[in-house]
Amino acid sequence: MRQDRHFSGKNDLGDAIAVLEYFRALGFERLPLGRGWPGKTSTVPDAVRRQAPDVSPGVCDSAEAIRPEAAADEKAGLLSALRAEIGDCTRCKLSKGRKNIVFGEGNSSAGMMFIGEGPGEDEDLQARPFVGKAGLLLTRLIEKMELQRKDVYIANIVKCRPPGNREPEPDEVATCKPFVERQVDIVRPSVIVTLGKVALQSLMNNTTLRITASRGKFLEYQGIPVMPTFHPAYLLRNPADKWKTWADAQKALERMQHGRS
């Protein structure tokens, strides 16, 4: 029978390092400490202990114990593993017409994450998100915020192009949504910008939300501020509303830079 060891606060250096390494592998840059943790009843799971490195006295004095850049590497690895898990996906009917899966791209530790609806024709051909005319507009918006695409993370609710660029259907969203949710879990951005109605309703799991009523106001997803705004494709048809999207983007940028109020 397995016997869990408990933190004594004196001689559990190995267990402490195991916990640090475990949370670093999950992408945390600092420990999620709360009331009563670690307490006398806290245990170190076997799965954590098995990942523990050999520890010698003095290792906690090293800056190598927890390194932000290492956490970024771990996040990149987790995203790669997720892409491998998706594989040559045939989980829904969108797979029948697509040429490429469009997983997402950008900084695995981005402070800002953009989530759109789904790939279009150009994205389907290049296997990259937002590279067509709408993508060019999004890139200009990012650059206007004095960022680059490599500084943010960009993904879509569904990873395959809907036929004729139609909106993804509920069953398609339900099948693919867990993947973008896991991308959010891995990246853990400071703020999410949803692009268009489908992204907003799908991420927030609320089909009553409307862009015109929701944009410019922060919502929250898993503790992360969410700023809804128009999809770039809409702005191509309605350029007069670009200033509204710019106002939304400024709010998101300020939240990212100065933290949550």
The domain limits of the chain are 13-66, 70-258
CATH number of 70-258: 3.40.470.10
Q: How far apart are CA 52 and CA 15, in angstroms?
A: 7
Q: How far apart are CA 21 and CA 71, in angstroms?
A: 10
Quick one: residue 46, left, alpha or beta (phi over 0 = left, psi -120 to 50 = alpha)? Answer: alpha
Q: How far apart are CA 92 and CA 27, in angstroms?
A: 30
pLDDT in tens, the chain (261 residues): 444 434 344 444 555 555 455 445 545 444 444 333 333 333 334 433 333 333 333 333 333 333 555 588 999 999 999 999 999 999 999 999 999 999 999 999 999 999 999 999 999 999 999 999 999 999 999 999 999 999 999 999 999 999 999 999 999 999 999 999 999 999 999 999 999 999 999 999 999 999 999 999 999 999 999 999 999 999 999 999 999 999 999 999 999 998 644
229 beta partners: 195
In three-state secondary structure terms, 120 is: coil
pTM for the model stands at: 0.74
In three-state secondary structure terms, 105 is: strand
